[in-house]
Structure 1
Amino acid sequence: MSDPLWRPSSARINSSGMQRFARQVENQLGLRFRDYGELHRWSIDNPEIFWEQVWRFGGIISSEPWERVLTDGDRFPGAKWFSGARLNYAENLLRRRDDGTAVIARLENGERRSLSHAQLYEQVGRLAAALRASGIAPGDRVAALMPNVPETLIGMLACASVGAVWSSCSPDFGFAGVMDRFGQISPKVLIACDGYFYNGKRIDCLPRVAEIAGNIDSLEQIVVVPVAGIDADVSRIRNVVSLDDYLPAEDTPELEFEQLPFDHPLYIVYSSGTTGVPKCIVHGAGGTLIQHLKEHRLHVGLGPEDVFFYFTTCGWMMWNWLVSGLASGATLALYDGSPFRPAPSALLDMAQEEGITVFGTSAKYIAALEKEHLRPRETHDLSALRTVLSTGSPLSHESFRYVYRDVKQDVCLSSISGGTDIVSCFVLGNECLPVREGEIQCLGLGMAVEFRNEKGESVIGEKGEMVCARPFPSAPIGFWNDPGDRKYLAAYFDAFPNVWTHGDYGELTEHGGVIIHGRSDAVLNPGGVRIGTAEIYRQVEKLDEIVDSICIGQEWEGDVRVVLFVVPRKGVTLDDELRQRIRQTIRSGATPRHVPAVIVPVADIPRTLSGKIVELAVRNMVHGRPVRNTDALANPEALELFRDLPELRRE
């Protein structure tokens, strides 16, 4: 067991949300928990009591109480949560109505705005009134092609207040990518930006908005939001109106919160769509709310004194996760644009200037900071920062060390993992526990997570499939337009009956931490030995000459061989000496089985719009198989770099 990189102080533990929750349970139920492991075991053995306690601790607002916390708890899927309760998600996020700051929003071009809680409530009320005037009712879909700006948050809250279902895409999606998503759900209203800023450019979205409006027959209203100041004639767009003209001019009625069942649909979110048409995943209001309150208040320790930031687009579930921070009274910090403009320190500058206390980002971003040789602890005042969150891919050992060496020593670095599928986390952080290099701190409370080997046995200290053996409130209601739940059942419940199989490959450590080795469908299998790709990436990231990499298994002579593609730093040539150093680094840091048979230089690595590498798409290109829905990629042209490479041909 490695020594911890960080341990929380006694004062931090005693003031933490996790500790306060544990004391609440102990005092009310006459229990005593010696450690987090006991609290977690109690939470999954007693789901009805646990989730009732989370409801009370989170102060969830409802107009009708529940009749029963859990019905059919032995059915997964099929369990029902908080039957009889009626609530509204937006009401729970807009519980503060004071002059404190609710939202800070910044754009890449330097523009900054802020809204108080009172102003946010008033603006949500105006848009909700406009939606009602348009005939929007509970269950109707409202789509948004928007950047991460206050109007997007306002749109979602207004939508939720009337009981409509919100679905958003980032404006960098191409026409086909948008149609693959919104075209499936028949929205009545589209809220779209005129344009956005990215990487020093102002990008006009209006031609694409016009094309979308002309191809989704269900759209009755297109509301254009001015973000980039695009001066264009919008009259060619069907049923178009500007946001200012859409909102009521005066006498806005009091904001009404439609009271709805716990499992009323709140969001439709989408799988990445790199291997087929995206799955339309439907999440319920109550399950999303209570799960996010648990994760924010207990695992992150979020509260009214916090400034909460996550670098995300509105097409990634981390945006949905971020905005729920309002339910804990926190100030949200929004950013839209390139994280490296006008300089690589852009987000660090924002953290200093805004006093961000909880800073969320991707593992790739942290690795990129190190590659840029940035040392924020020497250049920035990050005294307000108490927690760093990382997700999107496993955080490497080197990145753990980098944060504590060069960013800040006294900070809780929490790698977290879950997904769009559950719009939340299975495994995540805990400010009461130590941080160990290369590990996620703990299993989420109420989540019966296990790792199962090829025999289906739950194992500790061995690699296996990550599963969740019992129901949880934020499991999807289902997929949109999926008769009989056939696609939903096939996606998660085929491998083990009554058990959610998530598609991650990892292990539970002896002390309760978690190591994720990669996606199960990207696991390499040379000579019949399963290898997680993350184990290789961790080693490659040690080499300053390499700025990015992706690894696949190539079918070869009746077996599979490991192929590693690398992006050398500018001015660096991948010669035999560097190839040998890469192999030696992997061999010494992992095992000889991890050493790639072939190492190939490429100019770029294809990624989704949320920044995740697409190993399956690259594998298909290498094998000459079709790659569908490339509009889901931020840089689809990079896929061509992997087509018919001479280094991978059979002689």
Structure 2
Amino acid sequence: MSENSEVLWQPGEAELRQSNIAHYMGWLAAEGYGRFEDYHALHAWSIEDLERFWSSIWDYTGVIASRPYDRVLGRREMPGAEWFPGARLNFAENLLRHALHGDASAEALVAVSESGAPVRLSRGELLEQVAALQGFLLAQGVGPGDRVAGVVGNTEHALIGMLAATGLGAIWSSASPDFGVSGVLDRFSQIEPKVLLAVNGYSYNGKPFPRLEQNVELAERLPGLAAVLSIPLLPDVGHPEGGLFTPWDEALAVHAGARPVFEQLPADHPVYILYSSGTTGVPKCIVHGAGGMLLNHSKELMLHADLKPGDTFFYFTTCGWMMWNWLASGLVTGARLVLFEGSPGYPDLDVCWDLAEREGITHFGTSAKFLGGCRKKELAPGEAHDLSALRVLFSTGSPLLPEDYDWVYGQVKRDVLLASISGGTDICGCFVGGTPNLPVRRGEIQCRLLGVDAAAYEDDGHDAGHGRGELVVRQPFPAMPVRFWNDPDGSRYKGAYFKTFPGVWAHGDYVRFTEHGGAVIYGRSDATLNPGGVRIGTAEIYRQVEQVPEVADSLVVGEPVDGDVRVLLLVVMAEGQTLTEALEQRIKQAIKENASPRHVPGRIVAVPDIPYTRSGKKVELAVARMLQGREPGNRGALSNPEALDAIAERL
């Protein structure tokens, strides 16, 4: 593939001077770290002098700690690198710094949901509710290392729950309320929470979904549970009575006026447990440390996202996706959060753009799928809405198509920073993403993030240079998990990331780093196809199929045939369209001309739906396993498992 260097956005001098990263570079010079000509020089220093770089991030972002670290890195080897040994800090205290030491009357968040009126909390009110919930948790015996879990919507309740738990040194873990009982148990039964927060129901696409029966079953089946806090997300549903259940309002009222507690703990003390998608078995429980999350999120949000006090930060996410954790950390910057619980398509795809105008959102986060959907519906948010406040537009979840870059700059805003970001639940953060001091090029993520020594490796472990290869990280960085839960010897953790290249993190994505220092993601390496023994990625095929107006969605897998693999393309037809022989030929010709003859599917099949994980990612592997005559895996991890049955009928 030829290098695409078309520049769609270039930072102006005023934007550069006012950006956090420019201020940081000036601060580095003043503090004696050195002067750096541009972002690329800064990044080179950040990985060449790893410990001084992360020390500078600690100081620049203003980490609150009752005891400083003895050194930045204790052990350097991967896996097992030890960050900031000797330090004592609290994650929630750092996120609540602007309530504790700033203007407590400033608005901290607005929570918008399909279920009721918006809820607004000042920083001081947020702190008061966190302290009251801590009183309830303490009464249940919750302390450092205990788990507090939530089946929660993206409302103020989830944020308060997380801050209260992590303030006490407990470990927070969450799932979205659209998970079935088995999906929740697959996750939470492994970690045995002491307290469960559970919504009494939720609304989606204008329809209510009560959860009282599911919550009672969870209370009966989760081992070691001391209490269930019932959250009134559906106002007309009520709560289970008696037993372990306490209504949210009652619990907070009993402990109103309590003082907040911030246990001082080591930097690697667990703060979050997140989960792998679990599409092929029980999800892995990924444990993240407080110091690593705090330092990495502060770096990403302050320097790369350019979030500042007074900004307004929105990300469409559920509490079962790591982007919720990323959004929650926006508090550390002094920005106001906009929480949204509901469907991004109800009553139509304008709902989030309406919210952006109404709340003056400066930083708008969504998925590549959402942007592609808006483009296909021919929306023009920039014409229909006042988006004058909008400075940064984030996209993640899957590779952003070049055509969606065009749509953003043509139909959303010409002077917005489009920051396509890519990372994963495994690090609850990003490897590559945006920066306000580099241009945005069509179809290209701007840069490797500071402190991340990312590269593309060929199969033999050699650097692929500007060629495509496996995304690896060659040096430790703080966002790497501290461990997996129930993995005492670390063998599962090591096998997940360090089996392919010993001592080097292999993430499982294919990437190409361009001559500009940008990145192009090609999708999961475990979804790579091998027709005729030649490895090709699925992303190139998706890019072509996405341009066919008759096709609403698609999925590409390898189909075993006579000892070889042929490319199978599954398509969901747009409303009123059918898959004709002429359309098949047009799709194949577009793929042949714009990708390669090897990318052309041997078979195209129309299906009613494509399987997705609950975080909105296509599940190629489950369909590939079906084609191999194997069980597709854990259906409970899918948002629409019935799609697999429909596909099986047509294959």
Q: Which amino acid aligns with 1:79?
A: A
CA-to-aligned-CA distance 1:32-66 (integer Å, 9 cap, x gap)? 22221111111011111000100111111111111
Query: Once the 2 structures are TM-superposed, how far is the Cα of residue 623 of structure 1 from its aligned partner?
Result: 2.7
Structure 1 partner of 2:612: 607
Structure 2 partner of 1:133: 139
Whole-Å Cα distance in 2 between the matches of residues 71 and 170 of structure 1? 37
Counterparts of residues 9-28 of structure 1 (less than 5 Å):
9-28=12-31
- Whether the aligned pair in 1 keeps the contact of 2:148 and 2:195 (CA below 8 Å) is yes
- Whether the aligned pair in 2 keeps the contact of 1:269 and 1:317 (CA below 8 Å) is yes
Query: Once the 2 structures are TM-superposed, how far is the Cα of residue 455 of structure 1 from its aligned partner?
Result: 1.9
| 2:82 counterpart of 1:76 | no
Cα distance, 1:626–1:114 mapped onto 2, change above 3 Å: same
Whole-Å Cα distance in 1 between the matches of residues 606 and 407 of structure 2? 26
What residue ranges of structure 1 are gaps of 5+ in the alignment? 647-651
Q: 1:197 aligns with which of 193, 199, 203?
A: 203
- Whether the aligned pair in 1 keeps the contact of 2:196 and 2:225 (CA below 8 Å) is yes
Query: Once the 2 structures are TM-superposed, how far is the Cα of residue 622 of structure 1 from its aligned partner?
Result: 2.6
- Whether the aligned pair in 2 keeps the contact of 1:167 and 1:267 (CA below 8 Å) is yes
Counterparts of residues 180-579 of structure 1 (less than 5 Å):
180-232=186-238, 234-235=240-241, 238-249=243-254, 252-579=257-584
Structure 1 partner of 2:155: 149
Whole-Å Cα distance in 1 between the matches of residues 468 and 198 of structure 2? 45
| 2:53 counterpart of 1:50 | yes
Structure 1 partner of 2:165: 159
Cα distance, 1:26–1:134 mapped onto 2, change above 3 Å: same
Query: Once the 2 structures are TM-superposed, how far is the Cα of residue 580 of structure 1 from its aligned partner?
Result: 1.2
Q: 1:39 aligns with which of 20, 37, 42?
A: 42
Q: Which amino acid aligns with 1:163?
A: G
Whole-Å Cα distance in 1 between the matches of residues 466 and 222 of structure 2? 51
Query: Once the 2 structures are TM-superposed, how far is the Cα of residue 246 of structure 1 from its aligned partner?
Result: 2.0
- Greater mean alpha carbon deviation, residues 370-379 or residues 157-166: 370-379
The SS at the match of 1:288 is helix
Cα distance, 1:95–1:116 mapped onto 2, change above 3 Å: same
Whole-Å Cα distance in 2 between the matches of residues 333 and 373 of structure 1? 26
Structure 1 stretches of 4+ moved >4 Å:
none
- Whether the aligned pair in 2 keeps the contact of 1:622 and 1:642 (CA below 8 Å) is no
- Whether the aligned pair in 2 keeps the contact of 1:624 and 1:644 (CA below 8 Å) is no
| 2:93 counterpart of 1:88 | no
- Whether the aligned pair in 2 keeps the contact of 1:91 and 1:257 (CA below 8 Å) is yes
Query: Once the 2 structures are TM-superposed, how far is the Cα of residue 232 of structure 1 from its aligned partner?
Result: 4.6
Query: Once the 2 structures are TM-superposed, how far is the Cα of residue 570 of structure 1 from its aligned partner?
Result: 0.6
CA-to-aligned-CA distance 1:69-88 (integer Å, 9 cap, x gap)? 11122x11122111111111
Whole-Å Cα distance in 1 between the matches of residues 237 and 64 of structure 2? 43
Whole-Å Cα distance in 2 between the matches of residues 63 and 16 of structure 1? 30
The SS at the match of 1:104 is strand
Query: Once the 2 structures are TM-superposed, how far is the Cα of residue 251 of structure 1 from its aligned partner?
Result: 5.9
- Whether the aligned pair in 2 keeps the contact of 1:271 and 1:279 (CA below 8 Å) is yes
Query: Once the 2 structures are TM-superposed, how far is the Cα of residue 253 of structure 1 from its aligned partner?
Result: 2.8
| 2:591 counterpart of 1:589 | no
- Greater mean alpha carbon deviation, residues 19-28 or residues 187-196: 19-28
The SS at the match of 2:31 is helix
Q: How many residue pairs align between the two structures?
A: 644
CA-to-aligned-CA distance 1:478-530 (integer Å, 9 cap, x gap)? 10011201110100010111110000011111110000011000011111221
Structure 2 partner of 1:4: 7
- Whether the aligned pair in 1 keeps the contact of 2:80 and 2:482 (CA below 8 Å) is no
- Whether the aligned pair in 2 keeps the contact of 1:107 and 1:337 (CA below 8 Å) is yes
Structure 1 partner of 2:627: 622
Q: Which amino acid aligns with 1:436?
A: R
Whole-Å Cα distance in 2 between the matches of residues 454 and 251 of structure 1? 59
- Whether the aligned pair in 2 keeps the contact of 1:361 and 1:390 (CA below 8 Å) is yes
Whole-Å Cα distance in 1 between the matches of residues 208 and 26 of structure 2? 52
The SS at the match of 1:628 is coil
The SS at the match of 1:399 is helix
| 2:32 counterpart of 1:29 | yes
Whole-Å Cα distance in 1 between the matches of residues 525 and 59 of structure 2? 37
Q: Which amino acid aligns with 2:34?
A: L
Query: Once the 2 structures are TM-superposed, how far is the Cα of residue 110 of structure 1 from its aligned partner?
Result: 5.8
Whole-Å Cα distance in 2 between the matches of residues 251 and 343 of structure 1? 40
Structure 2 partner of 1:649: none
Whole-Å Cα distance in 1 between the matches of residues 340 and 325 of structure 2? 14
Cα distance, 1:52–1:42 mapped onto 2, change above 3 Å: same
Query: Once the 2 structures are TM-superposed, how far is the Cα of residue 206 of structure 1 from its aligned partner?
Result: 1.0
- Whether the aligned pair in 1 keeps the contact of 2:198 and 2:228 (CA below 8 Å) is yes
Whole-Å Cα distance in 2 between the matches of residues 348 and 251 of structure 1? 37
Structure 1 partner of 2:183: 177
The SS at the match of 2:222 is coil
Q: Which amino acid aligns with 1:190?
A: L
Whole-Å Cα distance in 2 between the matches of residues 553 and 390 of structure 1? 28
Whole-Å Cα distance in 1 between the matches of residues 616 and 553 of structure 2? 12
- Whether the aligned pair in 2 keeps the contact of 1:194 and 1:230 (CA below 8 Å) is no
Cα distance, 1:233–1:417 mapped onto 2, change above 3 Å: closer
Query: Once the 2 structures are TM-superposed, how far is the Cα of residue 219 of structure 1 from its aligned partner?
Result: 0.5
Cα distance, 1:276–1:416 mapped onto 2, change above 3 Å: same
Whole-Å Cα distance in 1 between the matches of residues 271 and 72 of structure 2? 20
Whole-Å Cα distance in 2 between the matches of residues 229 and 587 of structure 1? 55
CA-to-aligned-CA distance 1:179-236 (integer Å, 9 cap, x gap)? 000010011100101001101110001110111111112101011010112435612x
| Structure 1 length-normalised TM | 0.97
Q: Which amino acid aligns with 1:83?
A: P
Query: Once the 2 structures are TM-superposed, how far is the Cα of residue 577 of structure 1 from its aligned partner?
Result: 1.1
The SS at the match of 1:44 is helix
Query: Once the 2 structures are TM-superposed, how far is the Cα of residue 589 of structure 1 from its aligned partner?
Result: 1.7
Whole-Å Cα distance in 2 between the matches of residues 322 and 577 of structure 1? 46
Structure 2 partner of 1:62: 65
The SS at the match of 2:185 is helix
Cα distance, 1:61–1:573 mapped onto 2, change above 3 Å: same
Whole-Å Cα distance in 1 between the matches of residues 526 and 190 of structure 2? 26
Whole-Å Cα distance in 2 between the matches of residues 26 and 587 of structure 1? 52
Q: Which amino acid aligns with 1:10?
A: E
Cα distance, 1:587–1:128 mapped onto 2, change above 3 Å: same
The SS at the match of 2:198 is strand
Whole-Å Cα distance in 2 between the matches of residues 635 and 3 of structure 1? 38
For the aligned residue pairs, the C-alpha RMSD in angstroms reads 1.2
Calculate percent identity across the aligned residue pairs: 52
- Whether the aligned pair in 2 keeps the contact of 1:96 and 1:118 (CA below 8 Å) is no
Whole-Å Cα distance in 1 between the matches of residues 236 and 115 of structure 2? 15
Whole-Å Cα distance in 2 between the matches of residues 125 and 357 of structure 1? 30
Query: Once the 2 structures are TM-superposed, how far is the Cα of residue 29 of structure 1 from its aligned partner?
Result: 2.1
